[in-house]
């Protein structure tokens, strides 16, 4: 009996804690429901645990959420697929609670279980759940029901199928906008399971009703349905039924609906096929690019490249490019910014001639934009143009833009441009970089803002990686080391940081010959902050340097620092010494 | 609204030829003050709101508490139908009973701005109830909270595996014990053999008792630089707005960490500020229509479909100033303190300091009706200005059938006017057990004669005075908040800390 007790005891606690007053303990128990189920065995899980959970479903939302998740993977613990239906009852009640995330989880679990259930069990157990939820008194139940139709439908016999389609149609006309929204957003999933013949009649009429809903939020979701349904329908039906709806939506009174169309238009084009897109959707897209709501133009401008890709270059030049030109001088900076982030991608689509002739002036005007984000977005995608037209044409106008950004008064802008320096360097080549940008990189090391100095140090490391240690030895190291004599201690600290970053890239020899002496010298600095940073840097250098050098140079220096009057310096020196010893021991 | 509005029975239907005035009777009072009892400031009611069905009523007070009442005469609609069949309840008037209360807001301190944030509830709005739970939004000056009030059956655990009083181990955090537990299970052998027979699930006994629990589900904050004066739910059931003096923000009920600013009237230079937002409300059925009122006496209708930032209105309702009548107080008393859409959304009711105005949203040249609330105060505006009473913000409400409007005044008086065509109903009621104790003179009498009369009678009264008819008025007892039941002729109004209910 004693052994049995030992076996039971921990699980007994777990079981008891299902009803503990402390929510954290209840949560813990629920998350380990599978352990409890295994201890009870399959039969008692079915007969006792699941009914227990069904009864105790008025807990806090956090507990219910965990329960909804656990039940979704519970089939093995109730005795396999043939008993899966016992799990439906607790999940059904969870589908009606007020908290959306619990309901969503319960629906997800129901779908997961339903997908594994046998066809006959679906008819006997799952479909009644769907019907009960769809007829639920509270809108929460009806909302949940919309998400499980697509699981129930394929297994239903014909008569039930007809009934399910009717019920779904009713949900799409529910009094509550929440239910109609749920029905609209799940329509695509449900339609995918419906037979072609009913798709064209039943589902399309449901869809038509949704597209004319007087709640903007419902129509919004119907836009998404366009793409999903379009892909299901045969091309000619898609053109006949979906295209007019899209064209209508693109002229909807509500900007939010038009915004949605602008966001989805590319997917809609895919569904409609390129031929019809050219004919019907290009005018719609052009309208959206010229919309009077900036949010819509932002969405449309962001898709310009993707959209051009499915058009012929000629059409793109003829129809889209004029709009792009207009957008490049749009009154909203966010529109210009969205355009700048994708416009570079148009270059490969248009080809070299059109790019130089038409696109280049737009690049250049965006590169001079008063809003830094716009310029940054252009620079960030520089590699794409480089492939088409070569950097020479751009470099003339690029440099002033970079210099201006590098000296922008907002440090976030400076930070952003530093991030792009390695990219620029790789695109512009060593020669150009040495001439024009090298000085900037050094200048940032002395910036007033810490984040900039930090990024500058990191940038040097990335440049050294890009151009190799030899180049770095020639162009970076001497100029960095010079700055160790800067009167400001914060600047000297940045240099120490740069050294610790550069050392691994440069290798043991250069580190030992050039970098280490500078660090050792700094240990005599009058500022304690520098001294303990020396200790920290030395700690990182130990793994790169030869053991003999560590013994001869690093350790004496650290020992000296460990006797410093300043407590922080002593602390970091001792830390570094310990690290030294550890590395020595392991090697 | 280009004629798309469905005509509302209230205004469009031919109203009964002579609509009889309602006879108002006292129904109930909650928190009545006994004689000589001091009113605590925290107990003063600052918001009243019926829910959509009229089954529940919520009040908020200056102490940050929300009190819920539920209808007592008919439990729910199912019962009601039976009751009607049984020809019962016909003579009974709606009655409410106390349901529960909870502390919605606590006083806070904004350390960045060195500002104290009062806990006073400015507004309460009911949301769509679901799964038997009541849900509502309550707001103070800065923070909106989303509350769920749910009835739970009281459950007690009667049997457990371990006696909770037995060993000290039970008190240990379960994690350490439980985590190792699966190690004791020899790979599912037990489950095949039927499990551990000694293990029992806790036996829970459900009693008939229920307890109500209010839980704060979401907090919407850090979006207002100025004091929030209104919140309003959208008919789509997923969004709501909050308005302060200069901005209106749009929220999603599910998302508390972001809101969108949709209206911003803040001028670049604060010295150019001439007008502030005083109240805002969504149209009851059109999800894209929003109305807000201003301190200059105008109401703007905004179409959310037109653009993301709704700085341009689609319609503006203003009463053209009558020439010659302009005085120092004209602008102050023009400030609108509250607006309400009628049930169908065809009309907007607005309250400024002296009048109640009813606007047809298809006509922006002027109100379709204007009701004088307390014209006898007009000669006293100077005194009212000096003691700041002129800035009191009275609320207004409309009956569910749209045939009557009501608003409050001083001396705990509120007035009910007939707004149907041809009605000249104007009733004055006092928030006491005997509402018709004090009858004022017919208010439609020309204001001029009042002026001349009052000049004679006028005394240097401060907060209390005597009006033309010898009725005294008391500026300290003002009836700011009231609400009309959505379907019955029941008015709930707040007199300091007491909630009075009247029926007709």
Transcribe B143-164 into DSSP letters.
Answer: -EEEEEEEEEEEEEEEE-SS-T
CB contact under 8 A, B194 and A38: no
CB contact under 8 A, B204 and A19: yes
Reduce the DSSP state of residue B403 to 3 states and report it.
coil
Of B179 and A102, more confident: A102
**Residue A266: its pLDDT value, please?**
86
Helix (H) or strand (E) holding B359: strand B355-360
| Per-block mean pLDDT, blocks of 10 residues, chain B (504 long) | 42 49 90 83 94 94 95 62 49 85 94 91 94 92 94 78 51 40 43 62 80 91 93 94 96 94 93 94 94 95 91 88 80 94 94 94 91 91 92 94 93 91 88 74 40 36 48 82 94 93 91
Q: Which residues of B touch A138 (CB under 8 A)?
A: 130-132
CB nearest to A177's CB, from B131, B195, B236: B236
Closest by Cα among B412, B414, B429 to B464: B412
Q: Which residues of A touch B160 (CB under 8 A)?
A: 16, 19
Tens digit of each residue's pLDDT (9 = 90 or more) over A273-331: 777 777 788 889 999 999 999 999 999 999 998 888 888 888 888 889 999 999 999 99
Chain A CB within 8 Å of residue B186 CB: no
> Can you tell me the mean pLDDT for A545-550?
85
Distance CA A251, CA A246 (A): 9
CB contact under 8 A, A29 and B131: no
Residues 201-240 of chain B with CB under 8 A from chain A are: 201-202, 204, 206, 215, 217, 235-239
Mean of all residue pLDDT scores within chain B: 81
Q: Which residues of A touch B194 (CB under 8 A)?
A: 41, 43-44
CB contact under 8 A, B307 and A58: no
Chain A CB within 8 Å of residue B132 CB: yes
CB nearest to A217's CB, from B164, B193, B287: B287
Rg (CA), chain A: 33
Nearest Cα of chain B lies from the Cα of A286 at a distance, in angstroms, of 19
Distance CA B344, CA B323 (A): 35
> Can you tell me the mean pLDDT for A560-581?
91
Reduce the DSSP state of residue B179 to 3 states and report it.
helix
- Range with the largest mean pLDDT of A331-340, A537-546, B11-20: A331-340
pLDDT of A1 higher than 50? no
**Residue B75: its pLDDT value, please?**
53
Do A131 and A122 meet the contact criterion of CB atoms below 8 Å apart?
A: no
Nearest Cα of chain A lies from the Cα of B69 at a distance, in angstroms, of 21
Long-range interactions of A513-520: CB distance < 8 A, separation 24+: A514/A473, A514/A477, A514/A481, A515/A477, A515/A481, A515/A541, A516/A541, A516/A545, A516/A549, A516/A553, A516/A554, A518/A481, A518/A484, A520/A553, A520/A554, A520/A557
**Residue A354: its pLDDT value, please?**
85
**Residue A360: its pLDDT value, please?**
84
| Other C-beta atoms lying within 10 Å of the C-beta of residue B250 | 20
**Residue A326: its pLDDT value, please?**
92
CB nearest to B131's CB, from A12, A140, A292: A140
CB contact under 8 A, A216 and B308: no
**Residue B82: its pLDDT value, please?**
53
Tens digit of each residue's pLDDT (9 = 90 or more) over B116-127: 999 999 999 999
Of B443 and A261, more confident: A261
Tens digit of each residue's pLDDT (9 = 90 or more) over A469-499: 889 998 889 989 989 988 999 999 999 999 9
Chain A CB within 8 Å of residue B156 CB: no
Mutation pick from B129, B151, B200, B201 vs chain A, by most beta carbons of A within 10 Å, is B201
**Residue B236: its pLDDT value, please?**
92
pTM equals 0.81
Of A563 and A430, more confident: A563
Do A16 and A22 meet the contact criterion of CB atoms below 8 Å apart?
A: no
Mean of all residue pLDDT scores within chain A: 89
**Residue B501: its pLDDT value, please?**
94
Chain A CB within 8 Å of residue B13 CB: no
CB contact under 8 A, B196 and A295: no
CB nearest to B196's CB, from A7, A20, A56: A7
Backbone angles phi, psi at B349, to 5 degrees: -100, 135
Lowest mean pLDDT among A86-95, A511-520, B16-25, B379-388: B16-25
Alpha helix (H) residue ranges in A135-176: 139-146, 149-152, 158-171
What percent of chain B is helix, strand and coil (3-state, nearest 5)?
A: 15, 40, 50
Do B124 and B136 meet the contact criterion of CB atoms below 8 Å apart?
A: yes
Chain A CB within 8 Å of residue B287 CB: yes
Nearest Cα of chain A lies from the Cα of B93 at a distance, in angstroms, of 28
Tens digit of each residue's pLDDT (9 = 90 or more) over A175-221: 999 999 999 999 999 999 999 889 888 899 999 999 999 999 999 99
Mutation pick from B148, B153, B195, B255 vs chain A, by most beta carbons of A within 10 Å, is B195
CB nearest to A35's CB, from B135, B182, B305: B182
């Amino acid at each position: 009996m004693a052994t049995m007790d030992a076996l039971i005891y921990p699980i007994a606690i777990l079981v008891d804690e299902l009803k503990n007053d402390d929510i954290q303990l209840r949560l813990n128990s629920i998350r380990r429901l599978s352990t409890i189920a295994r201890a009870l065995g399959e039969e008692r899980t079915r007969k006792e645990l699941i009914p227990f959970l069904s009864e105790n479903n008025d807990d806090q939302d956090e507990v219910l959420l965990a329960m909804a998740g656990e039940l979704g993977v519970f089939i093995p613990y109730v005795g396999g697929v043939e008993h899966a239906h016992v799990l439906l009852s607790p999940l059904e009640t969870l589908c009606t609670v007020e908290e959306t995330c619990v309901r969503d989880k319960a629906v997800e679990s129901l779908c997961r279980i339903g997908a594994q259930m046998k066809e006959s069990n679906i008819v006997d157990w799952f479909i009644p759940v769907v019907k009960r939820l769809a007829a639920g008194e509270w809108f929460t139940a009806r909302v949940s029901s919309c998400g499980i139709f697509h699981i129930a439908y394929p297994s239903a016999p014909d008569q039930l199928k007809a009934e399910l389609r009717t019920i779904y149609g009713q949900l799409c006309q529910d009094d509550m906008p929440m239910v109609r929204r749920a029905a609209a957003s799940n329509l695509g999933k449900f339609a995918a399971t419906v037979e072609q013949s009913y798709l064209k009649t039943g589902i399309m009429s449901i869809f038509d009703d949704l597209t004319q809903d007087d709640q903007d939020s419902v129509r919004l979701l119907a836009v998404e349905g366009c793409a999903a349904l379009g892909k299901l329908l045969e091309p000619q039906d898609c053109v006949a039924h979906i295209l007019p709806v899209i064209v209508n939506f693109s002229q909807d009174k509500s900007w939010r609906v038009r915004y949605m169309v602008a966001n989805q238009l590319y997917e809609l084009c895919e569904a409609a096929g390129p031929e019809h897109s050219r004919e019907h959707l290009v005018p719609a897209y052009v309208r959206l690019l010229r919309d009077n709501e900036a949010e819509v133009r932002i969405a449309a401008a962001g898709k310009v490249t993707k959209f051009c890709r499915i058009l012929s270059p000629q059409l793109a030049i003829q129809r889209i490019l004029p709009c792009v030109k207009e957008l490049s001088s749009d009154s909203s900076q966010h529109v210009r910014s969205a355009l700048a982030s994708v416009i570079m991608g148009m270059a490969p689509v248009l080809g070299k001639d059109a790019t130089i002739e038409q696109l280049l002036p737009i690049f250049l005007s965006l590169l001079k934009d008063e809003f830094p984000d716009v310029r940054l977005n252009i620079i960030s995608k520089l590699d794409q143009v480089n492939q088409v037209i070569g950097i020479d044409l751009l470099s003339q106008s690029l440099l002033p833009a970079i210099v201006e950004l590098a000296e922008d008064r907002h440090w976030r802008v400076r930070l952003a441009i530093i991030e792009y320096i390695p990219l620029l360097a790789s695109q512009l080549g060593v020669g150009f970089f040495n001439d024009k940008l090298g000085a900037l990189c050094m200048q940032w090391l002395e910036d007033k803002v810490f984040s900039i100095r930090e990024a500058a140090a990191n940038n040097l490391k990335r440049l050294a990686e890009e151009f190799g240690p030899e180049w770095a030895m020639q162009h970076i190291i001497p100029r960095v080391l010079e700055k160790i004599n800067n009167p400001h201690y914060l600047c000297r600290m940045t240099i120490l940081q740069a050294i610790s970053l550069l050392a691994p890239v440069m290798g043991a020899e250069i580190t030992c010959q050039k970098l280490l002496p500078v660090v050792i010298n700094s240990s005599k600095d009058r500022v304690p902050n520098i001294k303990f940073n020396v200790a920290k840097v030395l700690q990182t250098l130990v793994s790169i340097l030869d053991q003999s050098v560590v013994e001869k140079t690093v350790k004496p220096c650290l020992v000296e620092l460990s006797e410093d009057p300043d407590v922080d310096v002593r602390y970091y020196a001792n830390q570094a010494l310990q690290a030294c010893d550890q590395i020595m021991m392991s090697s | 609204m280009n004629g798309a509005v469905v005509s509302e029975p209230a205004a469009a239907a031919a109203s009964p030829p002579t609509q009889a005035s309602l006879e108002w009777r006292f129904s109930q009072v909650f928190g009545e003050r006994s004689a000589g009892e001091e009113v605590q400031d925290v107990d003063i009611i600052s918001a009243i709101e019926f829910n959509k069905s009229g089954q529940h009523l919520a009040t908020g007070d200056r102490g940050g508490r929300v009190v819920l009442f539920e209808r007592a005469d008919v439990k729910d609609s199912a019962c009601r139908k039976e009751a009607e069949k049984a020809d019962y309840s016909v003579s009974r008037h709606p009655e409410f009973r106390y349901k529960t209360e909870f502390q919605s807001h606590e006083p806070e301190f904004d350390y960045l701005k060195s500002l104290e944030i009062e806990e006073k509830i400015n507004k309460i709005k009911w949301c769509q109830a679901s799964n038997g739970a009541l849900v509502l939004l309550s707001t103070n000056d800065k923070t909106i909270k989303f509350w769920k009030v749910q009835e739970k059956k009281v459950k007690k655990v009667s049997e457990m595996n371990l006696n909770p009083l037995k060993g000290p181990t039970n008190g240990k955090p379960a994690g350490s014990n439980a985590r190792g537990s699966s190690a004791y299970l020899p790979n599912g052998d037990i489950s095949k053999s039927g499990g551990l027979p000694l293990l029992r699930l806790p036996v829970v006994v459900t009693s008939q008792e229920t307890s109500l629990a209010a839980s704060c589900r979401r907090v919407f904050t850090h979006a207002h630089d100025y004091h929030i004066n209104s919140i309003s739910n959208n008919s789509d059931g997923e969004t709501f707005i909050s308005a302060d003096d200069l901005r209106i923000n749009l929220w999603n009920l599910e998302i508390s960490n972001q809101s969108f600013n949709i209206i911003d009237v803040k001028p670049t230079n604060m010295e150019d500020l001439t007008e502030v937002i005083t109240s805002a409300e969504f149209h009851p059925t059109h999800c894209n229509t929003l109305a807000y009122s201003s301190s200059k006496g105008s109401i703007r209708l905004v179409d959310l479909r037109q653009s993301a930032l709704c700085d341009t209105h689609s319609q503006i309702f203003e009463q053209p100033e009558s020439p010659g009548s302009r005085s120092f107080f004209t602008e102050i008393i023009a400030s609108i303190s509250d607006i309400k859409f009628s049930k169908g959304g065809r009309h907007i009711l607005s309250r400024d300091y002296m009048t109640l105005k009813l606007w047809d949203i298809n006509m922006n040249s002027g109100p379709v009706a204007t009701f004088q609330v307390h014209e006898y105060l007009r000669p006293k505006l100077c005194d009212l200005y000096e003691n700041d009473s002129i800035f009191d913000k009275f609320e207004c409400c409309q009956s569910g059938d749209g045939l009557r409007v009501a608003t409050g005044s001083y001396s705990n008086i509120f007035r009910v006017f007939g707004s149907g065509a041809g009605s000249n109903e104007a009733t004055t009621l006092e928030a006491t057990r005997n509402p018709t104790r004090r009858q004022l003179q017919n208010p439609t009498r020309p204001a001029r004669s009042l002026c001349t009369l009052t000049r004679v009678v006028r005394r240097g009264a401060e907060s209390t005075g005597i009006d033309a008819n010898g009725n005294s008025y008391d500026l300290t007892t003002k009836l700011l908040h009231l609400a009309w039941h959505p379907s019955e002729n029941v008015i709930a109004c707040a007199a300091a800390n007491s909630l009075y209910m009247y029926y007709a």
